Structures are given as structure tokens and as C-alpha cells.
Homo-oligomer: A and B are copies of this chain.
């Protein structure tokens, strides 16, 4: 393991929160200011960091571009996008596409509702595995060993009174999801938000993603979203078919 690279990464992590002075960066790394400066100079030469007018250092645009390029190389978004837009057009609620990438479920696309309210989900960020519809939809389709592996690194945090915060409760829910083929978020991450979600498989039947229709409870309660499940499942199947 390279400590020089670790330091560079720690610099980037610390800049992501907010721009920082050279002294702050040196303090965070526990190194001399000249060491921090040289690492920053290297990051800035490559575009991974940049220097603001007031002397502070910030994350650079090249890192942002690389992240976007990477998101674009994940298979699903271009292919899924027309389906998501069509689903969004028919219902107006927020639509999410989340993809299983390594050990995380990452939101890779999102169509905001016409309701004008911003959801917590952010493209590029992981979805909660145990407290989101897309997370549970994906978990329900994993082989037992892989499911154990993923959950071993997850703390079943109780975000609301509805959150399934024991492994037993989660397993029971996953069994229900397997049986009926779709998942729900019944105010499990945020009290006032609910959704229905469906898994998306590839041509070999492996789970790769999930799709969800999300709304504020005051706008569309869960019972209303459940009525949309047939359309959601049809959309998920259409995406699966196009995966080839």
C-alpha cells in the first residue's frame, strides 16, 4: 500500500467537503506543509484539484469529468433512459434507476417528479441496502452467500420507526419480495417518502439494477403507488430484454 497515494486520496476526500487552505490539508494529513503542497501541486497539474482565487484548494473538474465518463460506461443508463422517461411521463412521480456496482447499490439515473419536491437520492451516491426500495429489490435477488457478504458490511440503522433494523425482519421482507417480485419503501428511510421498486436482471438472469417510483406520502400514498406496480414491472422487463 502506497502511503503517498493514500495521502493524495485523503486530500481529495477532504476537499470534497469544502475548499481548504494548505495548512488545513497539512493538518488533516499530519504532514509538513511542504509535503502537502507538493501533493496538491501534483493533483492540480492533473486536474484532480484546483486552486481558488483566494488561495484555497478545491476538487478539480477533471475528477468530475472522469466520474461522469465512468457513469456513462456503466451499461444501463443510455439503454434504460427512454424507458425511464416513458414511465415518468405516464405517472409524473420521481423515477430512480440504481445499479449494483461491486458491493453497493448506486443511483445512476433519476427523473425528478413534476411535483417540485427534491428527493434525498443523489446520482453517484449509494442507496441504503436495507432501507430503500431499490436496495431491497436487489438484495432479494442475490444468492444467499452474496447476500450475507453484502449485509456483513452494513449496519441496519433505524432511520424511522418503519425501518427494518434486524436481520430477521429484513430476511422476512426479502422473502416476501421474492414471492411477489417487487419491493416497497414504506417510509423506511424518511417518514414522508414511499416507493415501489422492481429488480432488473441481465440476460443470464443475474440481478444488475432496480427501478423505482417514489413519491411523498402526502402526494401519493403507498396504496396508490402499488397500483403502478404492473407498469413498473413491465418497464423493468423491457429494460431486461434490451440488455440482451
**Chain A contacts to B: CB under 8 angstroms:** 1-2, 4-6, 8-9, 12-13, 15-18, 38-39, 41-43, 45-46, 48, 50, 58-61, 63-73, 81-82, 85, 89, 101-102, 104, 106, 112, 114, 116, 118, 122-126
Q: Which residues of B contact A116 (CB under 8 A)?
A: 82, 85
Which listed residue (B46, B71, B112) contacts A9, Cβ 8 A?
Answer: B46
20 A-B contacts, Cβ less than 8 Å apart? Answer: A1-B38, A1-B45, A2-B4, A2-B42, A4-B5, A5-B5, A9-B42, A9-B48, A13-B46, A59-B66, A60-B102, A61-B101, A61-B102, A65-B124, A65-B125, A65-B126, A68-B122, A68-B125, A81-B118, A85-B116
State in angstroms the CA–CA spacing of A161 and B114 once bound together: 39
State in angstroms the CA–CA spacing of A71 and B59 once bound together: 9
Task: Check B112 against A5 for contact (C-beta < 8 Å).
Answer: no
Task: Check A69 against B16 for contact (C-beta < 8 Å).
Answer: yes
- List 7 tightest A-B contacts by C-beta distance, closest first: A67-B67, A68-B124, A59-B70, A64-B124, A4-B4, A16-B66, A5-B42
Q: Which residues of B contact A125 (CB under 8 A)?
A: 65, 68
State in angstroms the CA–CA spacing of A13 and B43 once bound together: 13
Which listed residue (B5, B18, B63, B101) contacts A43, Cβ 8 A?
Answer: B5
State in angstroms the CA–CA spacing of A5 and B125 once bound together: 25
Task: Check B59 against A64 for contact (C-beta < 8 Å).
Answer: no
Which listed residue (B2, B68, B89, B106) contacts A67, Cβ 8 A?
Answer: B68
Which listed residue (B4, B12, B64) contacts A71, Cβ 8 A?
Answer: B64
Give the Cβ gap from A168 to chain B, nearest Cβ, in Å: 29
Residue in chain B with minimal CB distance to A46? B9
4 further A-B contacts with Cβ under 8 Å, apart from A8-B8, A16-B73, are A6-B45, A64-B124, A65-B124, A65-B125
Q: Which residues of B contact A60 (CB under 8 A)?
A: 102
Task: Check B64 against A70 for contact (C-beta < 8 Å).
Answer: yes
State in angstroms the CA–CA spacing of A18 and B114 once bound together: 35
State in angstroms the CA–CA spacing of A85 and B82 once bound together: 20
